[in-house]
Amino acid sequence: MTWWQSILIGIVEGLTEYLPVSSTGHILLTQRLLGIPGTEASKAFAVVVQAGAILAVLGLYFKRSTSMLEGIMGKNPQGLHLLRNVLVAFLPAAVIGSLFDKKIEQQLFGLWPVTAAWFIGGVAILAVAWFKRNATPRGRDTGLTMDDITPRMALIIGLMQCVAMWPGTSRSLMVIVGGLLFGLNMVAAVEFSFLLGMVTLTAAAGVKSLKFVSHPELLQDYSILTMFAGIFAAWLAAVLSVKWMVSWLQRRGITIFGYYRIGLAIVVTALLMTKVISST
């Protein structure tokens, strides 16, 4: 992999990680368009580059992050409450991911499964947007905040996040939709998705990074400099993406992402059927 390919994949990762469109699916598509095969190294790199997106949220939500640390030290009850809920929501992914990660990679890391997930997720977004629009009184943006999340709510949202182990589904999509269905307001649902994502991505990136440590031969295709170029690009793109997303969702809602996913699924299906790109 060249340095510019790494930067391009980093930009794609950063722009899409926290949007409900699936960063994994977009990275797979980008790799195929660049002619990069689906090797163990390329799959591991797709996760390691997420470090940039993690650092972006850590910086943008530094106060939230430090409040959770203060909660551990007994100085911030609200921070401890938030940390508990984030960890409860992370638990299902930790358990299910460790049990089925290899099988998921073998069965679902291809563009056909990803395209199906894009389409289904797009329809789900439009359905949830319609439900929220008709369930919420016109002119009122009522809803629960992150302080109102209970451990039971966090656990179910965490279980919904596990659906996103199917590449193309989108982790942020499942968390945001789960939060909205529980009655969270849009800002709370999005911010909880960011914080849960920070923990989930850190764990996933840490595990995948061990592949480079235990299998040094993977570094033949991905040098340290190349990987850091991708991580930096992901950080910068994620900062811009997160700021835009919060502003957009507050004003316009989630509907645009539903149409985008459906449109992308149709385009990629056409490319696959005409064999312009490979499915594996």
pLDDT of residue 139: 46
pLDDT in tens, 88-127: 999 999 999 888 877 877 777 788 999 999 999 999 999 9
Let me know if residue 82 belongs to a domain: yes
Give residue 239's Cα distance to chain centre.
14
Helix runs in 76-185, H state only:
77-108, 111-135, 151-162, 171-181
Task: Report how far residue 121's alpha carbon sits from residue 196's, in angstroms, rounded to the nearest whole number.
Answer: 20
Task: State the sign of the Cα–Cα–Cα–Cα dihedral 55, 58, 59, 60.
Answer: positive
Let me know if residue 254 belongs to a domain: yes
Contact 49, 13 (CB under 8 A): yes
Let me know if residue 44 belongs to a domain: yes
Residues with Cβ within 8 Å of residue 259, at least 6 apart in sequence? 122, 126
Let me know if residue 267 belongs to a domain: yes
Cα angle at 57 between 206 and 192, to 5 degrees?
95
Tell me 169's DSSP state. S
From the number of C-beta atoms within 10 Å of its C-beta (0-12, 13-18, 19+), residue 105 rates as: middle
| Per-residue pLDDT of the chain in tens (280 residues, 90 and over written 9) | 788 999 999 999 999 999 999 998 999 999 989 988 877 778 778 888 989 999 999 999 999 999 999 999 989 999 999 999 999 999 999 999 888 877 877 777 788 999 999 999 999 999 988 887 776 655 445 688 999 999 999 999 999 999 988 889 999 999 998 998 898 988 899 999 999 999 998 988 787 777 666 666 566 777 888 889 999 999 999 999 999 988 888 788 889 999 999 999 999 999 999 988 877 6
Residue 21: strand, helix, or coil:
coil
Q: Residue 128: which domain range? A: 3-273
DSSP 61-92: THHHHHHHHHHHTTS-HHHHHHHHHHHHHHHH
In the numeric block, which tokens belong to residue 136? 């919420």
Contact 25, 168 (CB under 8 A): yes
Contact 28, 109 (CB under 8 A): yes
pLDDT of residue 241: 94
Let me know if residue 72 belongs to a domain: yes
CB count within 10 Å of CB 140 equals 7
Q: How many domains is the chain partitioned into structurally?
A: 1
Q: Which amino acid is at 3?
A: W
Let me know if residue 280 belongs to a domain: no
Q: Percentages helix, strand, coil for the chain, rounded to the nearest 5? A: 80, 0, 20
Let me know if residue 261 belongs to a domain: yes
Task: State the sign of the Cα–Cα–Cα–Cα dihedral 98, 164, 167, 250.
Answer: negative
Let me know if residue 114 belongs to a domain: yes
Which pTM value belongs to this model? 0.85
